[in-house]
Amino acid sequence: MSIFNRWFRGRDAPKDSTTGSSYRFFFGGTTSGKTVTERSAMQMTAVYSCVRILSEAIAGLPLHLYRYTDTGSKEKAIDHPLYTLLHDEPNPEMTSFVFRETLMTHLLLWGNAYAQIIRNGKGEVVALYPLMPNRMTVDRDENGQLYYEYQTSQDEAHTMKGSLVRLSPHDVLHIPGLGFDGLVGYSPIAMAKNSIGMAIACEEYGAKFFANGATPGGILEHPGVVKDPERIRESWNSAFGGSANSNKVAVLEEGLKYTPISISPEQAQFLETRKFQIDEIARIFRIPPHMIGDLEKSSFSNIEQQSLEFVKYTLDPWVSRWEQSMRRALLRPEEKAEYFFKFNVDGLLRGDYQSRMNGYATARQNGWMSANDIRELENLDRIPEESGGDLYLINGNMTKLEDAGIFAASASTQEEQPDEEQESTEQSEEESQEPEQSSNLRERRKPL
């Protein structure tokens, strides 16, 4: 145990704050000269769009708690307290959509999502409250046990007492992102700060370019000695500065000469650089460019496939993180073998109407989907059981699956029927002959 403790103390020893939850070292200055934080990054339209798309996608997916039945199938555990908590209202202040949207935003910006678990006397979860990741510290004590330390604030719900509160893993729902130690995730914004910083610098350059009248900066040359250069500079800026004064004719007096010194945006490939930075940000979050408004490489033939790939390669990993983290933190040990959480992504994987109908027809005719199975996927009312809504049919006169082969059985019965008819005919003939034979005998026995 002493070796174990020394290893964890050594793990937390570096001063550059690159270990554990203290990853603040990565935020701040960049090679572009712009400071990048989670809040300044959200001022970039591409970053804001990516975060909004992913957070709203996770928040909008149906989330259910299921249980395994004795037959091996699954059913919704509507009677379990966690079902209503996660499906409808995690706490009295939020809906399930807002709660999940908030946690997913934290996860995308800081790399971690935390929520305080409120339990009753029986140990049942009765509420979940989001916690800010930038005020949370994850560490281990002298015995190697994990703990969470949170700095409270006045603008939060008063669910904790004290300014610095230590919480056990039993009281925290922690969803970590990609990290180095498997315990704490690292911020995508922090890890890609140079790329985002360059995008911020390009945006600021474009804004200042138009603020200066869409005219490159330059030098005003005077053949003599200028007694008051500040007055001349202010006079020039007031007359020709700003986008409202662009393309005005300048009148130079006293031998003044204007010499531009900066290159045009076209020469600097300004627009191309801005486009590339949008692709860079989309690459960080693994978002298809067409979803954030870049349709340059999208068409009607591939945009649906890109949307399906978004569900498969972008949403599915996040969904798995959510499901497994909730199972680990919210279910009691004896419940983990019986219950599980599941996001329903089937609605996002559906194709167009014609493709869905063709798929349903194939499933219906081959006997592995009933009418009610299809109607549930289309959010339609079920057909009553007595009307055949739960029947599984196969192609060929739509015979019930349990009656498959009935035609062959009837054909074999017909082949055997002539033999039976012949036997019955012979038997009837014998019975008809018996009276004749008996009458002849009586006639022969008659006395002369």
At residue 273, does pLDDT exceed 90?
no
SS3 for 27-44 is CECCCCCCCECHHHHCCC
Q: How wide is the angle at C-alpha 413 spanned by C-alphas 409 and 417, nearest 5°?
A: 175
pLDDT in tens, 128-171: 999 999 899 988 888 889 999 998 877 776 777 778 899 999 99
What pLDDT does 207 receive? 75
Q: What is the pLDDT of residues 56-94, one digit of tens each?
A: 999 999 999 999 988 878 899 999 999 999 999 999 999
- Kindly list the domain boundaries of the chain, sorted by start residue: 1-214+263-349, 217-261, 351-404, 407-448
More confident residue, 377 or 28: 377
Return the residue matching tokens 């007694």.
227
**pLDDT for 307 beyond 70:** yes
Alpha carbon distance 308, 296 (integer Å): 19
Check pLDDT > 90 for residue 241: no
Give all strands of the β-sheet with 172-176 in edge-to-edge order. 125-131, 112-119, 172-176
Residue with tokens 């049919």: 393
Give the burial string for 324-335 (b: 16+ CB within 10 Å, else e): ebbeebbbeeeb
State the pLDDT confidence band at 23, using cuts at 50, 70 and 90.
very low
User: What's the whole-number mean pLDDT along residues 391-404?
Assistant: 70
- Report the C-alpha gap between 344 and 304 in whole angstroms: 19
Scan for tokens 């509160």, then name that residue.
Answer: 165
Amino acid at residue number 112: N
CA-only gyration radius of the chain, Å = 39
Write down the pLDDT at residue 197.
84
| C-alpha closest to that of 378 among 363, 393, 395, 392 | 363
Predicted pLDDT at 448: 43
- Regarding predicted confidence, which is higher, 90 or 236? 90
Q: Provide the pLDDT for residue 133.
A: 92
Query: Average pLDDT, whole number, for the chain?
Result: 77
Q: pLDDT at position 19, please?
A: 47
433 has a pLDDT exceeding 80: no
Q: What is the pLDDT of residue 220?
A: 61
Q: Is residue 438 within 8 Å of residue 430, measured between CB atoms?
A: no
pLDDT the model gives residue 1 = 39
Residue reference for tokens 């130690």? 181
The confidence band for 3, taking pLDDT boundaries of 50, 70 and 90, is very low
Confidence at residue 322, expressed as pLDDT on a 0 to 100 scale:
96
Window from 30-44, 283-297, 309-323, 418-432 with minimum mean pLDDT: 418-432
